[in-house]
């Protein structure tokens, strides 16, 4: 009986050991092969593109990306730096894209006289870009209607 | 009586004044000039040194009104911390460099001392209440002087537009043609903005009452 139990235990242990090895070899985490207890080197800092032309959209209803730096642009209860160029009153003079008409609607689709509170925090949807390669490869392609291919 | 009226003078102020008017009988002109010259240097040097002591960041933030409000906000901005390590301090932007403009500003600053004593902005709430008015004062002054203090470091003439980004080139060229000054666009770059509703209602959420 005891011998049988020992054998079962040994088999289980061996199985556990081998699966552990399989995992260690087969799966590499995003942080690379660095051991858990080793401190990982910090990734290189990415810098936002200073200035550029509007970036084409990749899918329908994608919030347009911000093709310029926005460092230090505050959005608070007193003012919104983005709107000093992108508001309907200012976009012509600034040569900026105007904010969409949808941004003037509240959640019940009532059209307001000024930007809606739920659209006020631009960076909730619109983000500036850095030249960063995807961490995981993918085969995503923009749809034909948008990419024009 | 007409040639000697000193004897008639009994009160102290009058006697001093008489002594002041009379030519010296004890000291030579050389000694008087030398003493005057040295005293002049000490007085003038002392005056300027004292003025310079009130013209640095440590002095400005020795009051909690500056330390807790505008200085804290300023620390987040590019004029405090940037890649080249060139840093502007309070007086670089808020006190003129040229002597006579500086003295005029320093005299105006006595009003700030008065409000310090009155405690006009001695809490965060009071400060925020006055923020728009205070900001407008600074904007008006900068507009009037064609942003003189900005131009101590930033000059249209020395700007290489070819090295600027698209937006900067477009806006700076236009501003130069239109005769605009720095503060017309660059508001709130070193401190947070006040409630901008009054100046541009389209850059604040909500509708002005």
ipTM of the complex: 0.78
Which residues lie closer than 8 Å to A71 by C-beta, 6 or more apart? A48, B78
Looking at the complex, report in whole angstroms how far the Cα of residue B44 sits from the nearest Cα belonging to chain A. 43
Task: Tell me which chain B residues have a C-beta less than 8 angstroms from the C-beta of A117.
Answer: 205-206
pLDDT at B180: 92
CA distances from B42 to B38, B47, B106 (A): 6, 8, 21
Distance of CA A57 to the CA centre of its chain: 15
pLDDT of A41 higher than 90: no
| CA A77 – CA B209 distance, rounded (Å) | 15
Classify B155 in phi/psi space as left (phi over 0), alpha (psi -120 to 50) or beta.
beta
Going residue by residue through chain B, which has 209 residues, state the pLDDT in tens, using 9 for 90 and above: 444 544 567 788 988 888 888 888 888 999 999 999 999 999 999 999 999 999 999 999 999 999 999 999 999 999 999 999 999 999 999 999 999 999 999 999 999 999 999 999 999 999 999 999 999 999 999 999 999 999 999 988 888 988 898 889 988 998 889 999 999 999 999 999 999 999 999 999 987 55
pLDDT at B40: 96
**Which residue of B167, B178, B185, B186 is the best one to mutate when testing the A interface, meaning the one whose CB has the most A CBs within 10 A?**
B167
pLDDT of A26 higher than 70: no
CATH superfamily of the A43-149 domain: Flavocytochrome C3; Chain A (1.10.1130.10)
> Which chain B residue has the Cα nearest residue A120?
B205
**Residues of chain A above pLDDT 90, percent:** 42
pLDDT at B25: 83
pLDDT at B42: 97
pLDDT at A49: 83
Task: Tell me which chain B residues have a C-beta less than 8 angstroms from the C-beta of A52.
Answer: 166
Please, are residues A94 and B175 in contact by the beta-carbon 8 Å criterion?
Answer: no
pLDDT at A34: 74
Q: Which of these, A72, A52, A62, lies nearest to A131 by C-alpha position?
A: A52
Q: A–B: how many Cβ contacts below 8 A?
A: 70
pLDDT of A23 higher than 60: no
pLDDT of A40 higher than 90: no
Enter the DSSP assignment of A45.
Answer: P
pLDDT at A75: 95
CB contact under 8 A, A68 and B170: no
A22 pLDDT tier (thresholds 50, 70, 90) = very low
SS3 call for B48: helix
Strand partners, A51: A68
pLDDT at A134: 84
Q: Which of these, A92, A78, A88, A83, lies nearest to A122 by C-alpha position?
A: A83
pLDDT at B149: 95
CA distances from B203 to A66, A72, A86, B120, B191 (A): 18, 16, 9, 29, 17
Which residues lie closer than 8 Å to A46 by C-beta, 6 or more apart? A130, A131, A132
Give backbone dihedrals phi and psi of B159, rounded to 5 degrees, phi first: -80, 125
Between these two residues, B153 and A148, which has the higher pLDDT value? B153
Task: Tell me which chain B residues have a C-beta less than 8 angstroms from the C-beta of A76.
Answer: 192
Looking at the complex, report in whole angstroms how far the Cα of residue A44 sits from the nearest Cα belonging to chain B. 16
pLDDT at B1: 42
Q: Which of these, B25, B29, B22, B27, lies nearest to B5 by C-alpha position?
A: B22
């Amino acid at each position: 009986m005891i011998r049988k139990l020992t054998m079962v235990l040994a088999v289980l242990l061996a199985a556990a050991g081998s699966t552990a090895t399989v995992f260690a070899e087969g799966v590499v985490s995003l942080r690379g092969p660095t051991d858990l207890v080793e401190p990982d080197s910090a990734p290189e800092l990415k810098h936002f593109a200073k200035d550029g032309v509007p970036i084409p959209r990749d899918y329908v209803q994608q919030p347009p990306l911000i093709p310029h730096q926005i460092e230090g642009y505050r959005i608070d209860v007193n003012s919104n730096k983005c709107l000093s160029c992108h508001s309907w009153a200012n976009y012509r003079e600034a040569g900026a894209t105007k904010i969409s008409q949808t941004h003037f609607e509240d959640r019940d689709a009532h059209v307001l006289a000024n930007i809606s509170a739920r659209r006020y925090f631009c960076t909730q949807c619109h983000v500036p870009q850095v030249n960063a390669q995807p961490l995981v490869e993918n085969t995503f392609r923009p749809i034909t209607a948008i990419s024009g291919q | 009586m007409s040639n000697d009226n000193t004897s008639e003078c009994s009160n102290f102020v009058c006697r001093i004044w008489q002594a002041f008017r009379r030519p010296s009988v004890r000291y030579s002109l050389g000694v008087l000039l030398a003493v005057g010259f040295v005293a002049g240097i000490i007085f003038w040097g002392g005056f300027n040194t004292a003025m310079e002591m009130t013209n640095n960041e440590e002095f400005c933030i020795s009051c909690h009104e500056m330390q807790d409000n505008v200085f804290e906000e300023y620390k987040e901005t590019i004029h405090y911390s940037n890649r080249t390590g060139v840093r502007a301090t309070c007086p670089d932007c808020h006190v003129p460099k040229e002597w006579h403009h500086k003295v005029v500003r320093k005299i105006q600053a006595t009003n700030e001392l008065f409000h310090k004593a009155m405690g006009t902005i001695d809490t965060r709430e009071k400060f925020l209440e006055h923020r728009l008015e205070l900001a407008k004062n600074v904007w008006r002054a900068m507009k009037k002087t064609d942003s003189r203090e900005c131009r101590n470091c930033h000059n249209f003439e020395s700007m290489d537009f070819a090295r600027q980004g698209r937006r900067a080139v477009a806006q700076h060229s236009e501003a130069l043609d239109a005769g605009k000054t720095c503060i017309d666009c660059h508001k709130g770059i070193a401190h947070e903005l006040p409630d901008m509703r009054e100046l541009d209602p389209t850059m604040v959420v909500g509708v002005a009452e």
